């Protein structure tokens, strides 16, 4: 009987070790100071660092001033997708909003991401980025996503080692 229980526990450990795992490039997006009615759209990158397809079942904002958009297409292992978040910048003042992300990740079926910032009529106009700055920004975002993915793989390996 003890062997049967140990076998079931071991199988359960491997089942959790080989699953879909949700990882974000960042969990908070800071808008900083923005002008009223400016572009309120930002993107979070979701990566599946597991070895089974990850499915986002729902993404809910904490209020009607924030509108998330996402795809329910499976995110294959090692691949990424974007969650588009829009904030109504016609509302003056500071904001700190929570967005719940529901997925089939067995460990983090409910994840939370945040947006924050301040809508201020006296905010400086955004400076347009030069092509070199755009390229550097894209490179930096790619590097951050790669680092998050690498960190998630380390954590998964550590969890698998601990379970064994």
- Per-residue pLDDT at 95: 95
Quote the CA–CA distance of 34 and 113 in Å, as a whole number: 20
- Per-residue pLDDT at 162: 66
Q: State how far the alpha carbon of 95 is from the alpha carbons of 29, 124, 129, 144, in Å.
A: 12, 18, 25, 25
Please write the tens of the pLDDT for every residue from 8-26: 444 444 444 568 999 999 9
Quote the CA–CA distance of 155 and 49 in Å, as a whole number: 10
pTM: 0.69
Query: Tokens at residue 28, please?
Result: 């908070």
- Per-residue pLDDT at 164: 64
Quote the CA–CA distance of 49 and 108 in Å, as a whole number: 13
C-alpha distance across the termini of the chain, in Å: 20
- Per-residue pLDDT at 156: 67
Quote the CA–CA distance of 95 and 61 in Å, as a whole number: 13
Quote the CA–CA distance of 151 and 113 in Å, as a whole number: 18
- Per-residue pLDDT at 4: 45
Q: Which of 15-19, 58-62, 135-139 has the lowest mean pLDDT?
A: 15-19
Tell me which of 34 and 138 has the higher pLDDT: 34
Inform me whether the pLDDT recorded for 54 exceeds 90. yes
Inform me whether the pLDDT recorded for 71 exceeds 70. yes
Quote the CA–CA distance of 42 and 117 in Å, as a whole number: 12
């Amino acid at each position: 009987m003890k062997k049967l229980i140990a076998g079931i526990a071991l199988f359960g450990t491997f089942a959790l070790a080989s699953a879909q795992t949700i990882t974000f490039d960042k969990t908070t997006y800071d808008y900083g100071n923005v002008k009223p009615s400016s572009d309120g759209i930002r993107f979070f990158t979701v990566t599946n660092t597991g070895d089974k397809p990850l499915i986002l079942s729902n993404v809910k904002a904490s209020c009607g001033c924030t509108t998330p958009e996402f795809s329910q297409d499976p995110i294959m292992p090692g691949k990424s997708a974007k969650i588009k978040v829009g904030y109504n910048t016609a509302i003056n003042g500071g904001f700190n909003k929570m967005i719940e992300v529901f997925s089939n990740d067995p460990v983090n079926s409910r994840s939370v991401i945040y947006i924050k910032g301040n809508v201020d009529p006296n905010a400086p106009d955004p400076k347009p980025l030069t092509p070199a700055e755009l390229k550097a920004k894209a490179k930096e975002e790619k590097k951050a996503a790669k680092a998050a993915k690498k960190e998630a793989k380390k954590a998964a390996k550590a969890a698998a080692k601990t379970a064994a």
